[in-house]
Amino acid sequence: MVLKQRPTIYDVAQAAGVSIATVSRVINASDPVNPVTRKNVLGAIDRLGYIPRPDARTSHSVARIGVVAPFFTAPSFVQRLRGISAALDPASTELMIYTVSSQLQLEHYLSSLPLVGNLDGLIVISLRVSDEVVERLLKQHLSTVLIECPQPRLSAVVIDDQEGGFLVGEYLARRGHRRMAYLGISQKPDYSIYPERDRLEGFRQALQQAGLELRPEDNREAPFTVEDNYHVALELLAEAERPSAVFAASDLQAVGVIKAARQLGLHIPGDLAVVGFDDLDLAGYLGLTTINQQLDESGRTAVELLQDELANPGRSIRQIKLPLRIIERETA
């Protein structure tokens, strides 16, 4: 009986029609590679079933968990990561963090980490994973859990942003507000997701159910900084017929709205109600009414799902939806 020889990097290079050095660059994401070339190399890897360093995931004494996340200047990403870290035992688990600052970098990570990341498991926070990448993760047997952007073939922690927006609209309508505004996010990076669109849709639905509408002039957007949102809110609230309530797509944006209201001498919540989304740590300090989406808990839950998959290979996919709730404080 002749044993089938394991594919080598030389076989991959020949099948893709490139040099070994190019294959190495694709696998390690060390240098930029032409997108077409990279796709050809990855296709050859998939067809041949090539697995570099087959013993990589068993050679270390502690578990290595990778986390791929947007460049985490946003407080919500920090809190999700905090939940992940808190759920891991530092004595038995090493946490590897890969921050994404461009679509190209995201593609490089998701292409190379299943091959040579030397990881036991992977958590992807608030980033979309293509069907092609999912197939590679499954073929390489790298257990992966997603947060916020579910895929039917991977376990995930799911956030219903539309439901969150509906809760805000329902709450404000019940409080007697008839003209409300929404402050979304503009100028997002190319790799970003857009949960605020679902939050807006849920908000609209709640208003329609209450016999109200969101006027086009009350639907504003601003870049994701407090200062930019302050200036947009200042323009909105300075109008003669201003809204009596503002739903900001995130707590950080709500801070800009509060700053603008104070600048104009408006009393909160007497003259203006402000509601955010996230329930960041700062929301409690500011007395901000907001939607709690259990940021820390989403990280902890992702770790539990991943650890369960590692301990029970072949377990069925699970997608856990975390409940949202409105936290009433002093701003609404």
pLDDT in tens, 52-92: 654 444 445 678 899 998 876 678 888 999 999 999 888 78
- If one counts the domains in the chain, the total is 3
**Lowest mean pLDDT across 186-200, 278-292, 313-327:** 186-200
Residue type for position 221: E
CATH number, domain of 204, equals: 3.40.50.2300
Domain co-membership, 318 together with 282: no
Residue 174 within a domain: yes
pTM reported for the whole predicted model: 0.81
pLDDT(1) > 80: no
120 and 150 part of one domain: yes
The per-residue pLDDT of the chain, averaged, comes to 87
- Are residues 281 and 213 both part of a single domain? yes
Percent of the chain with pLDDT over 70: 91
Instruction: Summarize the confidence of residues 292-312 as an average pLDDT.
Output: 92
What is the per-residue pLDDT for 170?
97
**Integer CA distances (angstroms), 59 to 56, 63, 118, in order:** 6, 10, 9
- The amino acid sitting at 73 is T
In a domain, 330, yes or no: no
Is residue 47 classed as helix, strand or coil in its secondary structure? Answer: helix
Q: Mind listing the pLDDT tens digit for each residue in 174-209?
A: 999 999 999 998 877 777 788 999 999 999 999 999
pLDDT tens digit sequence for 29-59? 656 677 788 778 777 777 776 766 544 444 4
How far apart are alpha carbons 179 and 194 in whole angstroms? 25
If asked whether residues 288 and 166 sit together in one domain, one would say yes
Specify whether the CB–CB gap between 94 and 62 falls below 8 A: yes
User: Does residue 305 sit in the same domain as residue 285?
Assistant: no
> Looking at the structure, do residues 287 and 175 belong to the same domain, yes or no?
yes
Q: What is the pLDDT of residue 161?
A: 96
Q: Rounded to whole angstroms, how far apart are CA atoms 37 and 265?
A: 59
Residue 211's pLDDT is: 96
pLDDT of residue 31: 63
Q: One-letter amino acid identity for 148?
A: E
In a domain, 188, yes or no: yes
Give domain status of residue 197, yes or no: yes
Residues 270 and 213 in one domain: yes
Indicate if 231 and 108 belong to the same structural domain: no
Q: Is residue 328 part of a domain?
A: no
CA pair distance 283, 271, nearest whole angstrom: 20
Q: Residue 60: what pLDDT?
A: 53
| Residues contacting residue 55 through CB under 8 Å, at least 6 positions apart | none
15 in Cβ contact with 48 (< 8 Å) = yes
Q: Domain residues for 66? A: 56-159+298-323
- Over 60: is that where the pLDDT of 325 sits? yes
Q: With 90 as the cut, is the pLDDT of residue 243 above it?
A: yes
Domain contains 175 = yes
Q: Do residues 208 and 170 touch, judged by C-beta distance below 8 A?
A: no
Residue 151 falls inside a structural domain: yes
Beta strands in the chain (DSSP E): 63-70, 93-100, 121-125, 143-147, 155-158, 180-185, 219-222, 245-248, 273-278, 289-292, 319-321, 325-327
Find the angle CA(312)-CA(315)-CA(317) to the nearest 5 degrees.
Answer: 135
Given a cut of 80, whether residue 117 has pLDDT beyond it is no
pLDDT value at position 58? 47
Residue 216: alpha-carbon gap to chain centroid:
28
**CATH number for the domain including 7?**
1.10.260.40
Say if residue 185 is in the same domain as residue 277: yes
Residue 259 lies in a domain: yes
> Same domain, yes or no, for 112 and 152?
yes
> DSSP letters along 155-222, please?
EEEE--HHHHHHHHHHHHHHTT--SEEEEEE-S--TT---HHHHHHHHHHHHHHHTT----GGGEEEE
Q: Between 103-116 and 131-139, two packed helices, what is the crossing angle to 10 degrees?
A: 20
Structure tokens at 301: 């839950």
pLDDT of residue 57: 45
Residues 288 and 165 in one domain: yes
The C-alpha atoms of residue 239 and residue 6 are separated, in whole angstroms, by 70
Taking Cα atoms as reference points, which of 20, 62, 13 lies closest to residue 40?
A: 13
Length of the chain: 332
